Structure 1
């Protein structure tokens, strides 16, 4: 089938995936919830809640809300005129604002008899195996009990090393974590455009079937209100992460949230481009910050990349950084190019004595605890090169 008829059929099929979605993650940005001065806009919050409550009303759809706005909501109460650049004041604003944000959501959803549960995450909570399982169980149980989880990054304690960096990426990873059928990214722009939407002659891109479709597009920075951290580039990257994990994405303005969730032609629809991967590995690839690096010899690179084996001490040529067992590290080839990321089983100070040696010899000399992989293949993800 080709031509206009084929286009309509494809568009209908794409939007049907939206209406068929039973578990939906919705992300809303700071600029869609707050005033330019930094305070929460009660009318905007209520408008979003009206839409989400209606989506849940039939009892067949579940919603997880990833909401920015904690730092923005804390600005005015602390007398801050704009989002601070230093981490300490961001954490202080988040501490004040998170309570205000959740209180506002709690009151607004209460109009519909909907209970909400707050879930605050950091990168560490989701890249380590036990923490990852706990995060999934909490969110899944909240949904099973009829509550609506409200997820945010734990800005009050997150440091630069364990931050997600933006809630768009967090939303993509949460969608994967809860096995969502759909991700909806809401901002102050009604979709992805082929240029600056404020200038004449630009057009909204209605569908993206592969990353190559938008390789020519230049993306804008943070929103006009200046209270968020992301821009279109973070939203497109989040859409790419989710689509590659088998989750379709709709990117549109919070104004059109109802239309987006009803499967109407609004915003930009990102088709699935891949399948769901092993749960924790997506987080390891996109939500962890390497605490060090291991340089591999050529044989080890081939074993890890081509044969997908675990990394053994014999294949390591050099160690860089200060890390502990369980921390994420980069695996590099002899040119310094990162080829993989994994969770290491040894402290940095232990590894130098192990390099280039077989696990059998190490076990004889140092004990059975050393007859194990430096990075197990189940804790290892290959990076795009």
Structure 2
């Protein structure tokens, strides 16, 4: 029993967050990308030195594949999330089953991290799941919570998950393949910043620019997540969720070819 505990303590705990823009396309679930993500997580898990937590967006987008509603209305978005969350989990469960891996759903809100009792309870559940080789899949519980209790985007949720669940690294997989010195969609000479150790306040105050109809984030929310973790000495790696080559290089081969690593100096 002691030996097992020592092995567990040596494992590196990684939170992987995948965005709505990656998981949906043309009002459909991007099942091939979801499948590729599960492949990556399964390979990491098979390394026997990693514990994996997945923070997954996409519930609203998944719900919209079954029912089209006006997404500018909060209640409609909540209804779509209610439809889409079990659909999303069905696909995750099916693909993880191919690897003989069990997964579990955890729905959290910001208030869960403000209450010592609720945070401690969530931490206990998390440790039980991880110690039994289950992949926790976390999303924001936006079906019944009001705006005051929500993070509003899963980048912030993922950062809190990484901190409160004692992760060694947060990986954000998005339609943005890294952080550039200027918008690469507008400037051909934009250069990726491979390592970022400081984020200016002005960068955190920029207007959000989500690129998906269902997304609630953008580069600003990722910078806020990175800043939250930098201040707590937890690194964050941001890379493409469309092409996982750089994620494989960084996570499996310890080779930082592309993507941005946010870390404290």
Contact 1:75 1:97 in 2 (8 A): yes
State the distance in 1 between where 2:11 and 2:249 align: 14
- Aligned partner of 1:202 in structure 2 is 190
Contact 1:192 1:268 in 2 (8 A): yes
Residue-by-residue CA offset, 1:110-159 (whole Å, 9 max, x unaligned): 11111001000012222111111111111111001110000000011111
Which segments of structure 1 move beyond 4 Å, counting only runs of 4 or more?
212-220
Which one of 21, 30, 38 corresponds to residue 41 of structure 1?
30
> What runs of 5+ residues in structure 1 fail to find an aligned partner?
1-19, 274-385
Deviation of the 1:213 alpha carbon: 10
Contact 1:31 1:188 in 2 (8 A): yes
> What runs of 5+ residues in structure 2 fail to find an aligned partner?
1-9
Deviation of the 1:207 alpha carbon: 0.7
SS in structure 2 of the partner of residue 180 of structure 1: coil
Contact 2:15 2:162 in 1 (8 A): yes
- Aligned partner of 2:214 in structure 1 is 227
Contact 1:219 1:232 in 2 (8 A): no
Which one of 47, 51, 62 corresponds to residue 73 of structure 1?
62
Deviation of the 1:87 alpha carbon: 1.5
Contact 1:193 1:202 in 2 (8 A): yes
Deviation of the 1:21 alpha carbon: 7.2
SS in structure 2 of the partner of residue 55 of structure 1: helix
Which has the larger Rg? 1
Contact 2:226 2:262 in 1 (8 A): yes
Which one of 215, 221, 239 corresponds to residue 226 of structure 2?
239
Contact 1:195 1:217 in 2 (8 A): no
State the distance in 1 between where 2:221 and 2:263 align: 17
Pairs aligned (count): 250
Equivalence map 1:49-198=2 (5 Å): 49-80=38-69, 84-198=71-185
- Aligned partner of 1:211 in structure 2 is 199
CA RMSD across the alignment:
2.1
1:29 equivalent in alignment to 2:19: yes
State the distance in 2 between where 1:200 and 1:126 align: 41
Query: Normalising to structure 1: TM-score of the pair?
Result: 0.62
Query: Normalising to structure 2: TM-score of the pair?
Result: 0.89
SS in structure 2 of the partner of residue 190 of structure 1: coil
Compared CA separation, residues 90 and 217, structure 1 to 2 (3 A): closer
State the distance in 1 between where 2:180 and 2:12 align: 28
